Amino acid sequence: MTLHPVARLLVPAALFGIAMTAPRRQVLTSDDSGPAPLVEVAEPPPAVALEELYHELAEPGATVTVVEFSDFGCPYCGQFERSTFPALRDEFVQTGKVRWRFVPFVLGMFPNGYEAMRAATCVAEQDGADFWAMHDTLFAQQDVWKGSGYPDQLFRSYAVLSGAQGDMFTECYRSARSADRVTAANALAGRSGVRSTPTFFVDGRMVQGALPLADFRRILLDATR
C-alpha cells in the first residue's frame, strides 16, 4: 500500500467550524490500516451541508479535535470502534479534553457498506444523539449485516432500537438525500487525502490505521498537554 504524506490539509478548516492547524508532514501508520482503494466520487458532489456529514461527541472546553474518516463495513474500523474507541472516549472525550468528529464514507469494497452509511445518516437526521447508538450497533453487528442478502430490514430494526421513528427512517433511507450524503462524504474524504480506513486527523495531523490503544492514547496525551 502506498501512503501519501500530507503537506497541508485539503479540507478548509472553516468548513469544520474548528481551528485545525496545518498538519505536520509526518504520517503515522499502522499495519492494520487495510487496503487502499481509490475513492470514486461524482463531480461536482451534491451540495450537502458539512454538518450533515460529520457526527460529534464533545464536552465543553475541549481543546483538541479529532476528525475520523471511517467505513462501517471496514473490519479494521470495526476493530478500532469496538476495542479502542470506548477507552479513548472515556478518557479524553467525556473528560472534556478532546472533541471527536466521526465522518462516515464508503470505500466501495465492503458488502452493504453503502446501505449502512445511508442508514446511519438517516438516524442522525432524526436525532444526532441516536446516531451514536446506531454507530455502536452497526459495528457490533458488522458481520451480520455484511453477510445479509436483504439488509434493509436489519438496518430499520437497528434504527428503531437506536431511537429512530421507523416510518421516518424508511422515508429517508429510500430518498435521494441519503445517497447525496454518501457522495458528498466521499468527495470530502477524497479532498482530504483519505485513501484507507480508518484515517484520523488529530488537530490536522494525519494518523492512518487502527492503531493499538496504547499508541493512540500516547498521541492524544501529547496533543492535550
The predicted pLDDT at position 46 comes to: 65
* Across 12-26, 79-93, 117-131, 175-189, least confident range: 12-26
Asked, for residue 144, whether it belongs to a domain, the answer is yes
- Grid coordinates belonging to 67: 476528525
* H or E element in which residue 222 lies: helix 213-223
Asked, for residue 163, whether it belongs to a domain, the answer is yes
Secondary structure of residue 61 in the 3-state scheme = coil
Question: Which tens digits make up the pLDDT trace of 138-150?
Answer: 999 999 999 999 9
* H or E element in which residue 146 lies: helix 142-146
The predicted pLDDT at position 31 comes to: 40
CB 207 within 8 A of CB 199: yes
State the Cα–Cα distance between residues 11 and 147, nearest whole angstrom.
34
Is the per-residue pLDDT at 10 higher than 70? no
Asked, for residue 105, whether it belongs to a domain, the answer is yes
Is the per-residue pLDDT at 168 higher than 60? yes
The CATH number of whichever domain residue 212 belongs to comes to 3.40.30.10
pLDDT tier at 6, thresholds 50, 70, 90: very low
Asked, for residue 20, whether it belongs to a domain, the answer is no
Asked, for residue 19, whether it belongs to a domain, the answer is no
Could you give the percent of the chain with pLDDT greater than 90? Answer: 75
In terms of residue numbers, what domain contains 84?
41-223
The predicted pLDDT at position 50 comes to: 78
- Grid coordinates belonging to 63: 481543546
Tell me the average pLDDT across 56-71.
Answer: 96
The predicted pLDDT at position 45 comes to: 60
Asked, for residue 171, whether it belongs to a domain, the answer is yes
pTM for this structure?
0.81
Asked, for residue 80, whether it belongs to a domain, the answer is yes
Domain count, the chain: 1
- Count of alpha carbons within 13 angstroms of residue 177, beta-carbon side: 14
Asked, for residue 11, whether it belongs to a domain, the answer is no
